[in-house]
């Protein structure tokens, strides 16, 4: 049987034929059962990774990549679900793939997504006392507030003979340093 047909039979839906490995979109309430189906029915014994993507208004997309090794072939599938920003909680899949524990801890730390039933979502990569989730798009880049974005100048900052340069710019996600950070309230 062809791999995409096996996936369709196991999940009851045709996988997304987009670029890359076959992708199956599942609901958050069926996440655990879907991962268990990938391991039990499709025989995907290797857990490659689990991560998240911050989609801003749409919430978070959680992706798990699992692999089945056969003689002379490697079959992969992506399992994907979407969580609302208001309650980013998903069932832990450590009971299915023990290696998922590290990935869930990292995703919790970097995105603030809780994995119900994990039991040990301890800090993994960030220093003690770090506040926030740095891979969320609403996370404030404090280093960029303290140090202006390079390459753009306000009029009058160049020598007198040059024409005025472009205005000072900030990359997306960086607040105005006059409003937020160590230089707040000081006009530049």
Q: Using CA atoms of 115, 119, 125, 126 in order, give the dihedral in degrees to the nearest 10.
A: 90
Domain ranges of the chain: 3-116, 140-188
pLDDT digits (tens, 9 = 90+) for 71-101: 999 999 999 999 999 999 999 999 999 999 9
- Would you state the pLDDT for residue 112? 95
Q: Using CA atoms of 131, 136, 142, 144 in order, give the dihedral in degrees to the nearest 10.
A: 160
- Would you state the pLDDT for residue 146? 65
Q: What is the CATH number of domain 3-116?
A: 3.30.460.80
Round to whole Å and give the CA distance between 39 and 62. Answer: 18
pTM (predicted TM-score): 0.75
pLDDT digits (tens, 9 = 90+) for 107-146: 999 999 999 999 899 989 999 888 899 999 988 877 666 6
Provide the 10 A C-beta neighbour count for residue 105: 18
């Amino acid at each position: 049987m062809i791999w995409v047909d096996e996936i369709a039979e196991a999940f009851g839906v045709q996988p997304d034929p987009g670029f890359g490995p076959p992708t199956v979109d599942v609901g958050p309430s069926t996440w655990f059962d879907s991962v268990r189906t990938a391991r039990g029915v499709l025989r995907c014994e290797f857990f490659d990774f689990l991560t998240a993507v911050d989609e801003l208004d749409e919430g978070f997309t959680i992706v798990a990549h699992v692999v089945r090794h056969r003689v002379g072939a490697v079959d992969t599938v992506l399992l994907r679900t979407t969580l609302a920003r208001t309650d980013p909680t998903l069932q832990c899949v450590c009971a299915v793939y023990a290696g998922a524990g590290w990935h869930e801890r990292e995703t919790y730390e970097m995105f603030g997504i809780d994995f119900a039933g994990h039991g040990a979502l301890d800090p993994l990569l960030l220093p003690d006392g770090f506040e926030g989730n740095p891979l969320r798009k609403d996370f404030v880049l404090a280093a960029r507030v303290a140090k202006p974005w390079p390459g753009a100048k306000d009029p009058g900052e160049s020598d007198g003979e040059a024409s005025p340069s472009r205005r000072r710019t900030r990359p997306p996600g960086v607040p105005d340093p006059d409003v937020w950070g160590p230089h707040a309230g000081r006009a530049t």
